[in-house]
């Protein structure tokens, strides 16, 4: 369901809200560099420079396979996407700029969610 479940004690299902927020990240106009794993065969240097690749489709798989025990693990992987991007791309490159925009968007929505938990 799109709406986060509100349990009887008023708590929300953190991981349900992470799944919903992931949908917002994936549909953001600047998400295109992050939708799929970076192709380690066609992007020179990426495999050596970025030790822990991460992308939105991998995060989706991890949610579906219940590999996050709380919102914390989800937040750490989303931040890994943007930290990898900063490490590999110039700030003023197309992909570097997209990474900064997406991180600002995520940080705002994450802060809003934390206020509700
Ligand atoms: C995060 N990162 C990504 C790349 C990269 O080259 N990524 C491939 C982008 C190509 N993907 C598209 O252009 C696209 C994808 C979906 C869509 F709906 C429309 C266009 C390189 C370095 C790096 O640090």
Q: What is the ipTM of this complex?
A: 0.90
pTM for the full predicted model: 0.91
Query: Is the pLDDT at 14 greater than 70, yes or no?
Result: yes
Round the average pLDDT of the chain to a whole number and report it: 92
Q: In whole angstroms, what is the distance from residue 71 CA to residue 15 CA?
A: 6
pLDDT given at position 12 = 62
Check if 32 has its Cβ closer than 6 Å to any atom of ligand 1. yes
40 lines ligand 1 (CB under 6 A): no
Cα 70 to middle of ligand 1, angstroms: 28
- Pocket lining: 106 vs ligand 1, CB cutoff 6 Å: no
- Residue 50 Cβ inside 6 Å of ligand 1? The answer reads no
Atom of ligand 1 nearest to the CA of 42: 6
Whether 91 contacts 103, CB under 8 Å: no
**For 33-54, how does the pLDDT look when each residue is reduced to its tens digit (9 = 90+)?**
999 999 999 999 999 999 999 9
Please report the pLDDT score of residue 7 as a whole number: 47
Q: Residue 33: CB partners within 8 Å, gap ≥ 6?
A: 85, 95, 98, 99
């Amino acid at each position: 369901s799109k709406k986060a479940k509100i349990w009887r004690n008023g708590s929300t299902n953190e991981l349900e809200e992470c799944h919903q927020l992931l949908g917002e990240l994936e549909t953001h106009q600047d998400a295109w560099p992050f939708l799929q794993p970076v192709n380690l065969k066609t992007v020179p240097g990426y495999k050596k420079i970025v030790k822990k690749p991460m992308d939105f489709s991998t995060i989706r798989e991890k949610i579906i396979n219940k590999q996050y025990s709380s919102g914390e693990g989800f937040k750490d992987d989303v931040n890994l996407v943007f930290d990898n991007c900063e490490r590999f791309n110039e700030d003023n490159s197309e992909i570097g700029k997209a990474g900064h925009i997406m991180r600002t968007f995520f940080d705002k929505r994450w802060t809003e969610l934390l206020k509700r938990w």
